[in-house]
Amino acid sequence: MFGALKVMVARFAADARGNVALTFALSGTVLATAVGGGLDYSRSTSVGTELQAALDSGVLAAASLTQSRSAEDVVRAYVEAALSDHQGLLQSLDLQVSSDISFNARQVEASAAVTVPTTLLGVAGINSLTVRRDASALQQIRDIEISLVLDISGSMGGSKIQALRDAAEEFVEVVLADNPERTSVSVIPYNGGVRLPSEVLSTGIVDLPPGLLRQSACLEYGHDYPIEIDLTDVELEVLRWGEQPMWAGSSSAFCPERNEESVFLSNDEADLIDRIRDLDAGGNTGLDIATAWGARALDPVWRGRLGGDFGDRPAAYDDEDTIKVLVVMTDGAATAQIRREMRRGRPRNVQLYSARQARENMADACDEAEGKGVQIYTIAFQLSGSTNRNLMQGCASRPQNYYQVEDMDIASAFSAIAADISQLRISR
């Protein structure tokens, strides 16, 4: 009898079937809370994502300089539209919007919080989750200084010079269309050199008789080989071709004609377009000389020496309200600098420096300008040879700032650059 009772007790002790139910009963509440809590947190995360997207879009729209509605109304409209699909959330919305508006800038900041009701987390005493998000946006129209360096060398003859004139004219119209009072354009045509207007000569950068200072001229950089162009050098001399100094009506393969002199720091659309329409092709390709003058037109060292419509420009490089843009266009290789001299009554050509030195000079000018924050765009117009293309590509600030035009559609390149400049001038 005692043996049978012992067996029964042992069997009861070994029976675990009741433990499963007991264990589930004890852990069921915890498991339900964990699973339900995950769902509740997932929902709150989804609401937070939608709320952040609505705030980001709202502050961007409210910061637009063309926005006529109040910043709070604009942001609220975006947030309420995003929350409309979530029943009960709008009633808990706490939205704070502030804005700072000035003549050329709008800054908007916003923060929002909503209370998301929970489901199974309520079992653990958590009846709601609070979701908070923040966003800010700034839109500011900045001043802009543009140097437009245009190749008018002999290889640009025929239909190419006409295509350039049309494209450059449209470019000027586009960049001056908005806020011309804040935009200055320098048009710098070049063949083997650059012709400067009388306004530049009269500032004391060259030693000329007073009567000749009322004329335009092409300037020289010295005769010591190799010549390295100093962008900040403001003491130059007149270029000579044979016995003839290149001022007034004199021109050569290294000095454009009188009606092709540069225009600096102007917002006079009619004057700029007239100059562009006068451009004709002839001469060599002084890419380094022209690029240097394009950079000088953006360098504050030359403020007060370039004439134009803006006495306070070029602005300082660290002026946060100013963008500086250099656009260099060519259809040919940088050429050596040649001068014609008279020896024993006979003219002979003398090389000041080689094409290789010219390429090095241009690359140095590009590097110096880019190092000071200038945005550089380059256009290679039916340009052959990897050396020439690499030079133009290397000058550009970014790979996408380099435009290689294989056909006659140079206007597309100028249009793309003008559109990019419009985006640059609006900071967000």
Six token digits for residue 289: 């000389």
pLDDT, mean of residues 410-416: 96
pLDDT the model gives residue 123: 65
Buried b (16+ CB within 10 A) or exposed e, 191-206: bbbbbbbbbbbbeebb
pLDDT, mean of residues 273-283: 96
Mean per-residue pLDDT of the chain: 87
Q: Please name every residue paired with 343 in a beta bridge, in sequence order, or none if there are none.
A: 346
Cis-peptide, bond into residue 245, ω within 30° of zero: no
Q: The pTM is what?
A: 0.74
pLDDT the model gives residue 33: 52
pLDDT digits 0-9 by tens, 89-113: 888 999 999 998 876 778 899 999 9
pLDDT at 15 over 60: no
CB 144 within 8 A of CB 53: no
The fraction of the chain above a pLDDT of 90, given in percent, is 61
pLDDT at 390 over 70: yes
pLDDT, mean of residues 106-132: 84
pLDDT, mean of residues 382-402: 95
The identity of residue 198, as a single letter, is S
pLDDT digits 0-9 by tens, 294-321: 999 999 999 999 999 999 999 999 998 8
Q: Which CATH superfamily is domain 143-427 in?
A: von Willebrand factor, type A domain (3.40.50.410)
pLDDT digits 0-9 by tens, 240-277: 898 889 998 899 999 999 999 999 999 999 999 999 99
- DSSP string covering 275-326, please? HHHT----S---HHHHHHHHHHTT-GGGTTSS-SS-TT-SPPTT-TTEEEEE
pLDDT at 421 over 50: yes
CB 338 within 8 A of CB 352: yes
pLDDT digits 0-9 by tens, 316-326: 999 988 999 99
- Could you tell me which of 174, 216, 224, 225 has the C-alpha nearest to residue 198? 216
pLDDT at 280 over 50: yes
pLDDT at 30 over 90: no
Among positive and negative, which fits the CA dihedral 188, 191, 193, 195? Answer: negative
Domain definitions of the chain by residue range: 23-140, 143-427
pLDDT the model gives residue 1: 45
- Could you tell me which of 32, 27, 46, 23 has the C-alpha nearest to residue 124? 32
Longest CA span, the chain: 148
pLDDT at 16 over 90: no
